[in-house]
Amino acid sequence: MAIVEVQNLEKRYPSFELKDVSFNLEEGRIAGFIGRNGAGKTTTIKSMLNLIHPDCGTVSYFGKSLEGNEAEIKRRIGYSTGTVSWYPRKRIREIVDTVKRFYDCWDESLYRKYLDYFSIDEGKTPLELSEGMKVKVNLMLALSHRAEVLILDEPTSGLDPFSRNVILDVFTELRNEGVCVFFSTHIISDIEKCADDIIYISGGRIRGASAKAEFAQRFSQGSESLEDTFLRLERRDNHA
């Protein structure tokens, strides 16, 4: 059942255009949003969070339009972005203590679990953390209020292979609990490892959105790996 519906999103910038972006996300599935740098991944995600104002198109969660239901929807979803650092000189404890009051469903035991799981010292400030640890802090904030949908913009960027594996295992665990995980990446092996669905964006347009096996069947040639498929598709788009 689709719990997130993105329909006909369009956004025009002087040097870039997001055109007719539509896809659905289902509960209990992991969707990998793949595309090269500048393909439109972040613009799409920002539109899904009402951070940018699309020229047209709609985004709805749980059957409700984001417009007019923003606060309620945001309480039920979690968002994390790569290595952006919030309040670099405030202690993580202080940031969390302020943020958790916005969520009725904040789960303190879950927060403690992820604090321990990601080995985060809440007495530190974001300024004292490595880029990888910042990603983990952002993820921890998104995970601790029992979000039903997780929207993650490049959550594995800047992480070492071991930490990436830990994060991908968390995604799988959440998927098994019925959470919908939507994450953007340009690391194809992350998609291969845990995604159920693939949404492929190139040049501001969705080129394919389907289950991983179906995607491979439609786009891959012979015994081509997913990585080779994407590279070939990108080369073709560049020459087109």
Partner 1 sequence: MRNILRKEMRLSASALTYLFVLFSFMFLLPGYPVLCGAFFVSLGLFQSFQSAREANDILFSALLPIAKKDVVKGKYLFVCMIEGFAVLLMALCVVFRMTVFSKADFYRTNALMNANLFALGIACVIFGLFNWVFLGGFFKTAYKFARPFVLFVISAFLVIFVAEAMHHVPGLEVVNAFGTEGLSVQILLLISGMIIFFFMTVLSYKKACRSFEQINL
Binding site for partner 1 (CB under 8 A): 46, 49-53, 70-72, 74-75, 79, 84-90, 94-95, 97-99, 101-103
CB of 89 to partner 1, least distance (A): 8
CB of 19 to partner 1, least distance (A): 17
The CA distance from 79 to 138, in Å, is 8
- In sequence order, the β-bridge partners of residue 34 are 185, 200
Q: Residue 145 or residue 212: which is nearer to partner 1 going by CB? A: 145
Edge-first strand order for the sheet with 64-65 is: 17-26, 2-12, 56-61, 64-65
Q: How far is CA 136 from the centre of its chain?
A: 13
Rounded to a whole number of angstroms, the minimum distance from the CB of residue 139 to partner 1 is 14
Do the beta carbons of residue 112 and residue 138 sit within 8 Å?
A: no
Q: What are phi and psi of 169, to 5 degrees?
A: -65, -35
CB of 53 to partner 1, least distance (A): 6
Decide whether 42 or 202 has the Cβ nearer to partner 1: 42
Nearest to partner 1 of 27, 70 (CB atom)? 70
Output the smallest distance, CB 63 to partner 1, in A: 18
Q: Which two tokens stand for residue 23?
A: 């896809």
> Which run of H or E residues covers position 34?
strand 30-34
User: Of the two residues 11 and 212, which places its CB atom closer to partner 1 in the complex?
Assistant: 11
Which of 138, 156 has the CB closer to partner 1? 138
Give min distance, CB of 202 to partner 1, in A.
Answer: 22
Nearer to partner 1, 64 or 90 (CB): 90
Strand order in the sheet with 77-81: 77-81, 149-153, 180-185, 30-34, 197-202, 205-211
